[in-house]
Each structure stands twice: as structure tokens, then as C-alpha cells.
Amino acid sequence: MPDFIGTQNGQLSLPGIGTLGPLLLLSLLTSTFGFSVGPEAPMVIAGALVGSAFSHRLFGAEDHASARTLAYAGAAGALTTFIGMPLAGALFVLEITRASASLSAAAPTALAPAAAASCASFLVAKALFAPASAIGGHFVYAPVGAALGGRAMAAIALGAGVGGALVARVFLTLVQTYKRPMWPAVAADPKTDSKWACGPKTRHVLVKTTVGLAVGALSTFFPQTLFWGEGSLQHMLDAQATPLSAVWPGLSPQLTRRALVNPSQPFGTPLAAAKVGVAKLTAIALACAGGFPGGIIFPLFFAAAALAHGLSAVVPATLMPVVVMALMASTQASVTRTPLATVFMLGLSAAYSAHLSVLLPPVIIASYVGVWASQLLSTDTFFPYEAK
């Protein structure tokens, strides 16, 4: 996704407008049929295309600087409309286009327009299209049962930071491992100019069919892996105290009767939570390796929350909310290299009852520690970035 606002020979590099319709359609089908990737990434690309097209109308096709700035603004507005978090969308698109976890080099000129677009889209979405809906996040975290001391905060922030980097490394390894047999690097035939022995279209059909069957089989035993996780995140934040049938899309117990970890009851053991977390990471990796378009923000939040509950045997219950949010932040930031936007997303999506003044300091530290630790572990990144 970072290449969607890249440059080639000084010009703005965006996917062709002709690919947008099929991309959005495939993303809709992917999300609808339960894959663990969300529609936010295609929405960002669509917003960038609209922004650049608007720039061409205003300033002409040769003004690449303006096109780049308005592409960021369009992407920020589209993402904010989808996730409902002002400014978080602007920060996300400016961070994700740079591998170093800092803002894009275009930030001096693009940040203000992106922030304006993000705020405007939030105002329009809430004031005009949902005037009666309550403002604020809805994800409920258990109260922090005791004062969080400096030593406990440091231990959680550093531990979750390194832990999130390790989870990210495992996730990236899974994606690369699954990709190799799916898309083998075969030398092109000079006569047919075909990269694949069976033909590229046939391979795409075979790969996507196989991945679909694998995801379906996995969800039979771990129905918690279905869908991208935003609607069902509360189910994981409170360790399944909120049953899966009570959150979107509301899977009934009849559809989850073969589950190895009962989604209608709280986790019985830390191992059960860890199994769900690993299964979710596997489902995300399969969808990404198979080339299904979609975002991984909430899927990674969901997987990390489950893995955090796998530590309940060694973490006091009073501190679990801090560990859960910190590991969610570190994991997502380590994969996407968006620590600042991740903190905004978690803070703005939390319900008013969350103790954010206690939760956010270790979450901020964990986000950046996770990114720095992941960079030390490997130079590989989930997204392709242009060499600078």
C-alpha cells in the first residue's frame, strides 16, 4: 500500500483508475465472506485516486506536487470516514508511506491538507449522515484495578513493545512462508512471456480458491478468526466475556459448535486465548499471502488482544487492560510502521470509561519500542517501500 502515493521519475505513482472498481469489488467480497482483512486499505487507495484526480482538474496533470498533496488528503479523508477517528487517518497515511516509522517526506506540505480532509470527513459523516449517533469510541476495557506504578508501567511498556515486535516478526514470516508455494518465482518463457507454467490467470484462481478453503477450514475450528475484527473486537478485549453471538456479525452457537475454543464462554485457560491469537494471525497471513486486498489494522488488534490474554497466568488481572492495549499497539505498529497513528486509533476507539490517562503512556512507549525492536530484528517490511 505505501506505493499508492509513491513517485516514479518525479511523477505521482498511483494505480490506474480502471483497477479501482475491481479492487473495491474484490475487497467487498473478501470482507463479506469472512476473510481476516478489512476494507480500509482499498478505501485509502480510492481516496488517494480521487484526491489526485481533483488536483489534475485544479492544477493540471503536470503539477505532481499538488497531486501528491491532495492524494494524501483524499486518502486521509476516506480512511477517517471509514474508521470514524479524526486526525488518525491523516497520521496513518503519512506514516505508512515511510518505512522508518516517521512521517512521509511530504508531511511539511501534506499534513495540514490531510488533517483538514480528515476533520472535514469526520464532520460530514457525523453531523450530516449520523446526527443522532453518539460521539466517542465504544470499545470497553476493564478498569485498571490498582494504581499503575512506574516500575510496572516500564515493565509492561518494554515487555509489550518487544513482544509486539516478535509477534510482528512471526506474522511476516508466516506471510512469506505461505507466499513461496503460492507464487513461485519461475523464469519467464521468452516465447509466451508467461511467468507461470499453468498461466497467470489459472494460478490466481487456484491460489485464491485454495486460500479460501484453508480460511474456511480454519474458521470451522476457530470461528473467532472470521471477518476483520472491528465488529467483534470487544469479544476479544474482555477475553470472550462478551460472546461472539452478541457482536457483529452475530454468529449463532449453531454455527460455532465445532469450535475448539468455545466462543460463547470466557477463555478457560491462557492456552485457549493463545490458540485463538495464533489462529487469527494465521488467517490474516493466509489472506495477505493469497493476494486478497484489504487492511490489517483491526485484524492485528484482534490477534494481539487474544495473545495478551494468553499471558493471564503471569500478569495480575488488575493490569491486564494495560497489557492488552499495549500489545495491540506494539503489534500493529511493528507491522505497519505507524506508531503515532496507532496510539490515536486505540485512544479514540476506547469508550469513555477507559482509564486513558493510565493506559496511554505505556501504550505510546510500547508502540515505538515495538517499531524500533522490529527494525533491529529484521530489515524486512510487510509493505514494499521505494528505495530512498
Residue 14: pLDDT over 60: no
What mean pLDDT, rounded, does the chain reach?
89
pLDDT (average), residues 198-202: 76
Residues 219 and 345 occupy one common structural domain? yes
Q: Which of 73, 95, 128 finishes a domain?
A: 128
CA–CA distance, 198 with 200 (Å, rounded to integer): 7
CA–CA distance, 219 with 259 (Å, rounded to integer): 8
Owning domain of residue 113: 2-128
Residue 26: pLDDT over 90: no
Residue 196: pLDDT over 80: no
Residues 275 and 362 occupy one common structural domain? yes
Band (326; pLDDT cuts 50, 70, 90)? very high
Residues 124 and 154 occupy one common structural domain? no
Per this entry, what is the length of the chain? 388
Residue 199: pLDDT over 80: no
Q: Is residue 386 in a domain?
A: no
User: What local confidence, expressed as pLDDT, does residue 319 receive?
Assistant: 95
User: What local confidence, expressed as pLDDT, does residue 190 receive?
Assistant: 44
Q: Is residue 135 in a domain?
A: no
Q: Is residue 12 in a domain?
A: yes
Give me the CATH number covering residue 279.
1.10.3080.10
Residues 191 and 289 occupy one common structural domain? yes
User: What local confidence, expressed as pLDDT, does residue 40 receive?
Assistant: 87
User: What local confidence, expressed as pLDDT, does residue 329 receive?
Assistant: 98
Q: Tell me how many domains the chain contains.
A: 2
> How much of the chain, in percent, has pLDDT values that exceed 70?
90
Q: Which of 128, 160, 181 finishes a domain?
A: 128
Residues 310 and 215 occupy one common structural domain? yes
Residues 195 and 322 occupy one common structural domain? yes
At 147-168, the pLDDT tens digits run 899 999 999 999 999 999 999 9
Residues 181 and 309 occupy one common structural domain? yes
Q: Is residue 140 in a domain?
A: no
Residues 230 and 343 occupy one common structural domain? yes
User: What local confidence, expressed as pLDDT, does residue 11 receive?
Assistant: 44
Residues 303 and 184 occupy one common structural domain? yes
At 269-323, the pLDDT tens digits run 999 999 999 999 999 999 999 999 899 999 999 999 999 999 999 999 999 999 9
Residues 193 and 302 occupy one common structural domain? yes
Residue 169: pLDDT over 80: yes
Task: Tell me the residue type at 276.
Answer: V
Q: Is residue 189 in a domain?
A: yes
